[in-house]
Chains A and B, each alone.
Chain A
Amino acid sequence: MNPFTKLDGLVAPLDRANVDTDAIIPKQFLKSIKRSGFGPNAFDEWRYLDVGQPGQDCSTRPLNPDFVLNQPRYQGAQILLTRDNFGCGSSREHAPWALEDYGFRVLIGPSFADIFFNNSFKNGLLPIKLAAAEVDELFRQCEATEGYRLVVDLAAQTITRPDGKTIGFDIDPFRKECLLNGWDDIGLTLRHADKIRAFEDKRRAEHPYYFA
């Protein structure tokens, strides 16, 4: 996993609540057996006017001019502003894969769905929860200002707006450490292999029927 430390990035606003993972990456693209290449199909049904198929060259497809991420001013955005319950629905990790492959590194919103939130951290994508009023203000500023950028500093746990205001955010210390260092969870967990084995032996002795 790529470490995440600090980002000075262009911001794009996706002003709708309950954006589900079917919208982030539609089902036909889940047939891939790879982890990469989902970016061109991120938000496929909103982004293009035709129906996308796996393996298609997306560069020649008709874009939906009404979809916010298609606006020229948001090209190259690395930070996405979202509304409540972003990432609800399916557990497909293809959703954070698609967002990351599209170019996003940070998501800022009032709330995220649990599984999506968790999956994001495994892919160097930082979801930040802020109070609804803070998010509202970011939406306002972003929509009013072309080229709107934010500086996200994970070590300091701050977001700095162009007007100089700094907003603090919470993150689990363990997740922060993993993200800052780009650590692989499995490697970390396997440091406790002896403990896992001991737990398993004890469980097997007490509840043999779970190990049949």
Chain B
Amino acid sequence: MAAQTLYEKLWSSHVVHEEADGTALIYIDRHLVHEVTSPQAFEGLKLAGRKPWRISSIVATADHNTPTDHWEQGILDPVSRQQVETLDANIREVGSLAYFPFKDERQGIVHVIGPENGATLPGMTVVCGDSHTSTHGAFGCLAHGIGTSEVEHVMATQCLLQKKSRTMLIKVDGQLGKGVTAKDVVLAIIGKIGTAGGTGYAMEFGGSAIRALSMEGRMTICNMAIEAGARAGMVGVDETTIAYLKNRPFSPKGEAWEQAVAYWRTLHSDEGAQFDKVVELKAEDILPQVTWGTSPEMVTTVDGRVPDPAAVTDPVRREGVERALKYMGLEPNTPITDIKVDQVFIGSCTNSRIEDLREAAAVAKGRSKAANVKRVLVVPGSGLVKRQAEEEGLHEIFLAAGFEWREPGCSMCLAMNADRLEPGERCASTSNRNFEGRQGAGGRTHLVSPAMAAAAAVTGHFADVRTLA
């Protein structure tokens, strides 16, 4: 058989039916559900008198609307509360493999709890009504975000209508420098190919620098594939993947584990497999990244400067840069390290896992929040992450530095709960989107790694984490 890419293997093992124009029905193994994009789907099912096709594919949690402090008070915002209670009622009525409701010890961000519970397994198709579902591709899955109509479609049919994507390999070879993390790698990739660079592609990340990453790092990279325009990002299975999955609650056990692992070891692109596009980066060239604008592609290195729109020749692009600088309140040519921050957010499905918190804590240890920084929020990705961080004493480092240690949830990544920026406030954020208003109307977001966020928190401005020994 001809050499196949990982994407081709995953695709061909899930095609149920194909129309003449190539539109295919793809079987879905895992359906992750949260409160924001599911109520209309459940209602649609009910109105049509349909039942979910396979309840055991569903894993659900409440994450977007949940508060990150004062859990004893419940959810104060009545509109948020109604949405979370609607999910409670829908899951109660319909059923699921697992549900981690608000306040459950395993509750958390849907893209954190899936992997940590072994509900995301190599070879699966994974969908969720959330664009950051691409995260799960780190496990050698075909995983992507879907809209609410598709959520309803998957519930009713266990399938998704899809056309095959083109394939792109992003190859990062070499060794990452000290202080350079997976977040910097993915921001550098987006800076190189642009936010539409991956549109229409399934993106595989490979090369020695990717292989050397932990599962947490790979999840960070696949998480932001969507920020490069690709619905799906993925990394081939290797020993790191298998070691991570062993003994997770929903991972196979005993003989089934052996059988599964034998299959999983085949889930990588074959030697000589052809991709429609290949993009290469050298790990040594990647420096800590900071975004300066209102799109993740508006990014530069920490030793760089805010760009000058006068130097941009394309008129649509120039106008985009001008508009972004106006919104961000930045002057052209300002050194990145001169930009002061008002708030810092360490969390989100991109960077709220244990390793992210360790990286932030390593910088925060023995230091204090700078006086001009109003607030530093550290929001673990799940109850389990929170517990592990506390067992390691990370929370004490954060609290000693004057950071706030919160309950898990999506929090200020999208500010659907009470955690948000005030108009004009500037934030160093480990989240994934720096869009206008994303972290609160008028808020100004700069995307960085957890270590760089902690560095900004303790210095009061963007700072090269490599110089904070």
Contact = CB atoms under 8 A, between A and B. Distances in A.
Specify whether A and B are partners. Answer: yes
A34 interface: yes
Given A22-B435, A89-B131, A209 B83 contact: no
B226 to A, nearest CB: 8
B147 A119 contact: yes
Interface stretch (B16-24, B205-213, B370-378): B16-24
Nearest to A50: B441
Interface in A181-197: 185-186, 189-190, 192-193, 195-196
Contacts of B416: 27-28, 30-31
B86 interface: yes
A47 interface: no
A195 B17 contact: yes
Contact of B149 (A45, A123, A208, A212): A123
A172 B23 contact: yes
Given A85-B196, A88-B195, A196-B159, A115 B131 contact: yes
A31 B231 CA distance: 24
Interface residues of A, number: 59
Query: SS class of chain B's interface: helix, strand, loop or mixed?
Result: loop
Interface string B45-61: 00010100110100000
A55 B48 CA distance: 28
Interface stretch (B177-185, B316-324, B329-337): B316-324
Contacts, number: 196
A172 B21 contact: yes
B92 to A, nearest CB: 15
B441 A45 contact: yes
Interface stretch (A3-11, A71-79, A90-98, A142-150): A90-98
Interface residues on B, range: 35 or more
A172 B157 contact: no
Residue with the greatest number of chain B CB neighbours at <10 A, chosen from A32, A92, A190, A209: A209
A153 interface: no
B150 A88 contact: no
A2 to B, nearest CB: 14
A35 interface: yes
B80 interface: yes
B338 interface: no
Contact of B79 (A51, A54, A88, A115): A54
B131 A33 contact: no
A16 B295 CA distance: 12
B29 interface: yes
B153 A189 contact: yes
A101 interface: no
B414 interface: yes
Nearest to B432: A89
A107 to B, nearest CB: 15
B252 A196 contact: no
Interface in B251-274: 252, 256-257, 259-260, 263
Contact of A200 (B27, B50, B230, B231): B27
A173 B22 CA distance: 10
B37 A89 contact: no
A203 B27 contact: yes
B146 interface: yes
B130 A91 contact: yes
A13 B436 CA distance: 20
A23 interface: yes
A174 B163 CA distance: 11
B435 A89 contact: yes
Given A91-B130, A122-B150, A186 B50 contact: yes
B339 interface: no
B135 interface: no
A27 B40 CA distance: 16
B229 A88 contact: yes
Interface string B106-148: 0000000000000001011000011101000000000011111
B153 A186 contact: yes
A29 B146 CA distance: 19
Nearest to B80: A31
A35 B39 CA distance: 9
A211 B256 CA distance: 11
B149 A122 contact: yes
Contacts of B153: 185-186, 189
Contact of A18 (B53, B121, B263, B320): B320
B161 interface: yes
A196 B25 contact: yes
B152 interface: yes
Nearest to A198: B16
A83 B323 CA distance: 15
A97 to B, nearest CB: 9
Contact of A93 (B48, B50, B149, B250): B149
A23 B323 CA distance: 14
B193 to A, nearest CB: 12
B260 A209 contact: yes
A103 interface: no
Contacts of B323: 16
Contacts of B50: 186
Nearest to A23: B436
B167 interface: no
B146 A33 contact: no
Given A185-B161, A189-B159, A200-B158, A113 B36 contact: no
Contact of B21 (A51, A174, A192): A174
Contacts of A18: 195-196, 295, 320
Nearest to A176: B21
A195 B16 contact: yes
Interface string A105-140: 000000101110011001100000000000000000
A21 B271 CA distance: 39
Given A16-B319, A186-B156, A189-B156, 10 more contacts: A17-B320, A27-B414, A84-B196, A90-B131, A91-B147, A114-B230, A115-B145, A172-B21, A190-B156, A209-B260
7 contacts: A23-B435, A85-B229, A91-B146, A186-B152, A189-B153, A189-B157, A207-B260
Name the 4 nearest CB pairs between A and B, nearest first. Answer: A119-B147, A209-B252, A122-B149, A93-B147
